[in-house]
A = this chain, B = another copy of it.
Amino acid sequence: MNTNQLSMLRRDVPSEVHAGLKEHFRDRYTINPNILAQHGTDESHYAPAPPDAVVFVMSTEDVAFTVKLCATYKVPVIPFGVGSSVEGHVLAVQGGVSIDLSRMARVLAVRPEDMTATVEAGVTRTALNAELAHSGFFFSVDPGADASIGGMIATAASGTNTVRYGTMRDNLISLTVVTAEGDVIRTASRARKSSAGYNLTQLYCGSEGTLGIVTEATVRLHPRPEEVLAAVANFPDIKSAVDAVIQAVQFGLPLSRAELLDALTIHAINRYSKTTLTEAPTLFLEFGGAAGEAKAHADHMQQIVHEFGGGEFAIAISEEDRSALWNPRHHAYFAALQLRPGCRSVTTDACVPVSVLAACIEETRAELQQFGMTSPIFGHVGDGNFHCLILIDPADSEERERAEALSERLTRRAMRYGGTCTGEHGVGLHKIEYLIEEHGEATVNIMRRLKRALDPLNILNPCKVVHS
């Protein structure tokens, strides 16, 4: 189904729902068109689909109230964090009520001895880390945007240090969830591990608001390493860069970050940041450990880089130097967009076994050139995950179709290589068909049965992940 077809499915939101919400939320209920429009838009290139109302919840009870009321009238509810998702997750394609969790932004507890924190779903990752600044600990998951913890749980997000600290999935202890009936459940105790029944924490993580609405989470924290080092190295080709990382990981060298940028991305960065980096495939690396350890690991990595034909190995130790060294990587996305002012990006999210990552990237790059598209490529090497930013003129529908065709070919290539159609962005609106191709009809049928079991009225973020 395309977005137009989906929007024909808009459901009626009866006046009782509006009245009930208005009475409960007062000025935290709105039908202001600008606010509706904002809540029907994310960072994707899909056409907006505004909800019929937005409520700004302050508590789990607020969420439960809203879901109960909407369930009575079969009205869709769509959780909203900061709107930074990139697969149309927050688009209210069937209308309904957007539940904005951004005001549920309290850090409820930090427990240094257990290395956990409990937060409301609206806390952003940088807000949590600001709260932890003097604790000796940090929260590791760092997608590009300053997403909310709830949003990161919804998409099973990851980031640049997943190679060492894991994805959102690996950093969850338990969740508080509002079910489709408006019941409030806690998925697990605060123990670090448990075999007590079905793993609801992991079922809700990555379910994109389609099985329940996460309102609180207990997450793992990690000790801040005593010593941190950054390094940058360029390579004659992508395969050499990837192989260097594989070798390091196989050796057990604890890389905190290992980001690959292709030559075009470096070119974009040089233009944007006025740097003079060699325009070749480049690794941005980070090491952390006890005093002396990070340096030893960096030295070891330098040997590996050399072995794989890498060029200059620039090391930065002080926080200022590290920041200067890594800044170009942090600005890569915006630098890439500036290659073509006024453009938008069709962003891909393939993730493959690391052994075939270089081949998959090279084939993709050749095809992008063949189709005459400008597309910087960068990725998280340790995870086998990479993104193409296929730049398009939003007014040029032929170009958009060409970009989408390329994106489709890349997604299929990743799946042929034993990989997944989405490493960290999620399924959202338009990867539902890929999900079937990736897993097969029987597997997706199990997912549909789960959806129907937990959301029989299909009110939780409908038309995302699976059609129930």
- Please list the residues of chain A having a beta carbon within 8 angstroms of any beta carbon in chain B: 111-116, 136, 155-158, 162, 166-167, 169-170, 179, 183-200, 202-203, 205-207, 211, 222-226, 246, 249-253, 289-290, 293, 296, 300, 349, 351-355, 382-385, 414-415, 418-427, 431, 434-435, 438-440, 442-447, 449-454, 465-466
The answer to whether A193 and B442 touch across the interface, beta carbons within 8 angstroms, is no
In the complex, which of the residues A155, A202, A446 has the most CB atoms of chain B within 10 Å of its own CB atom? A446
- Give the interface centre of A195, A354, A435 by most chain B CB atoms within 10 Å: A195
- Which chain B residue has the least Cβ–Cβ distance from A199? B202
Nearest CB in chain B: distance from A67 CB, A: 13
Q: Is A186 touching B423 in the complex (CB atoms < 8 A)?
A: no
Contact of A290 among B155, B197, B300, B354 (CB under 8 A): B300
Q: What are 30 inter-chain pairs, A to B, with CB distance below 8 A?
A: A111-B355, A113-B246, A116-B353, A169-B202, A179-B442, A183-B442, A185-B440, A186-B440, A186-B443, A189-B415, A189-B418, A191-B385, A191-B419, A193-B385, A195-B349, A195-B423, A195-B424, A195-B426, A196-B427, A197-B206, A198-B203, A198-B447, A198-B451, A199-B199, A222-B252, A223-B250, A225-B252, A449-B454, A452-B453, A453-B453
**Given A355-B114, A423-B191: A205 in contact with B211 (beta carbons within 8 A):** no
A183–B444 alpha-carbon span in the complex (Å): 12
- By a CB distance below 8 angstroms, the chain B residues around A447 are 197-198, 200
Q: Are B192 and A354 in contact (CB-based, < 8 A)?
A: yes
Closest 6 CB pairs between A and B?
A453-B453, A202-B202, A113-B355, A194-B420, A223-B252, A190-B418
Further pairs besides A155-B195, A196-B421: 16, Cβ < 8 Å: A111-B355, A114-B355, A115-B249, A162-B193, A179-B446, A191-B352, A193-B351, A195-B424, A195-B427, A196-B422, A196-B434, A198-B211, A199-B206, A200-B446, A222-B252, A252-B289
Residues of B near A112 (CB, < 8 A) are 250
Known A-B contacts A189-B415, A189-B418, A420-B189; A196 and B252 likewise in contact (beta carbons under 8 Å)? no
The answer to whether A296 and B300 touch (CB under 8 A), given A185-B440, A383-B193, is no
| With known contacts A189-B419, A415-B189, A452-B453, A226–B252 Cβ distance under 8 A | yes
Complexed CA–CA distance, A354 and B221 (Å): 14
Which of chain B's residues have a CB closer than 8 A to the CB of A225?
252
Check if A195 sits within 8 Å of B246, measured CB to CB: no
Q: Which B residues touch A200, using CB under 8 A?
A: 443, 446-447
A420 to B446, CA, bound (A): 28
Q: Is the CB of A290 within 8 A of B253?
A: yes
Q: Which residue of B lies closest to A189 (CB)?
A: B420
